[in-house]
């Protein structure tokens, strides 16, 4: 049932028309969210809260479910000044990862990826420094030359003029 709800919810995210929402599809999305919430609470009650949080896949399930539940209360977000609750719906894009639980090798790969993310901070820092360095070198080498172009007569003129 949860796998069907994940597939349906993902399809609704892809085909959702934010400018003209259809009440039928909103109700289907709400039903999928209720399936996720019931699944979440059953897992928490069955395993206990701290045991539930010890599994990384359960943490991902909790993140997806709770972020979706928060978007159901727009009055709460307006009253507290948190008007940016709607972007939390983008965390629902992580829901297809929930299906990895059915495939053990994908689950192992996903858990390995999540364990490696904190250690990849130094690699990311070196990459940003290299991009900054090459950006500075490029600006110094070209010094505005790319603002000009040759026209058919052989003359140079500024782009856009």
Q: Which of the pair, 123 or 70, is modelled with greater confidence? A: 123
pTM of the model: 0.56
On whether the CB atoms of residues 52 and 43 are closer than 8 A, the answer is yes
Alpha helices in the chain (DSSP H): 2-15, 23-47, 49-53, 56-70, 74-80, 104-116, 121-142
Q: Which of the pair, 79 or 136, is modelled with greater confidence? A: 136
pLDDT of residue 56: 76
How far apart CA 19 and CA 136 sit, in angstroms, is: 42
Domain boundaries, the chain: 2-116, 123-158
Residue showing tokens 């495939």 = 103
What percentage of residues in the chain have a pLDDT greater than 90? 10
CA 156, 157, 158 angle in degrees (round to 5)? 140
On whether the CB atoms of residues 65 and 37 are closer than 8 A, the answer is yes
- Provide mean pLDDT across the span 21-50: 85
pLDDT of 160 higher than 60: no
Q: Which tokens is 76 given? A: 């709460």
Q: Which range, 20-24, 46-50, 56-60, 131-135, has the best average confidence (pLDDT)?
A: 131-135
pLDDT digits 0-9 by tens, 108-155: 887 788 788 888 888 989 999 999 999 999 888 887 776 666 666 666
How far apart CA 74 and CA 2 sit, in angstroms, is: 26
- Provide mean pLDDT across the span 7-16: 76
- Provide mean pLDDT across the span 15-20: 67
pLDDT of 76 higher than 60: no
The torsion angles phi and psi of 83, rounded to 5 degrees, stand at: -70, -10
Q: Which tokens is 118 given? A: 């904190």
pLDDT of residue 57: 78
Q: Which tokens is 30 given? A: 């709400």
């Amino acid at each position: 049932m949860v796998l069907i709800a994940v597939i349906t919810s993902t399809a609704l995210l892809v085909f959702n028309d934010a400018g003209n929402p259809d009440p039928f599809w909103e109700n289907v999305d709400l039903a999928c969210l209720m399936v996720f919430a019931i699944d979440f609470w059953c897992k928490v009650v069955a395993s206990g809260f701290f045991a539930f949080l010890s599994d990384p896949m359960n943490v991902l399930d909790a993140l997806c479910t709770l972020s979706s539940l928060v978007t159901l209360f727009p009055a709460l977000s307006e009253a507290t000044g948190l008007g940016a609750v709607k972007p939390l719906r983008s965390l629902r894009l992580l829901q297809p990862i929930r299906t990895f639980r059915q495939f053990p090798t994908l689950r192992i790969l996903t858990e390995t990826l999540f364990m490696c993310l904190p250690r990849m901070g130094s690699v990311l820092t070196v990459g940003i420094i290299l991009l900054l360095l090459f950006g500075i070198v490029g600006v110094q080498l070209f010094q505005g030359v790319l603002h000009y172009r040759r026209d058919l007569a052989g003359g140079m003129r500024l782009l856009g003029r």
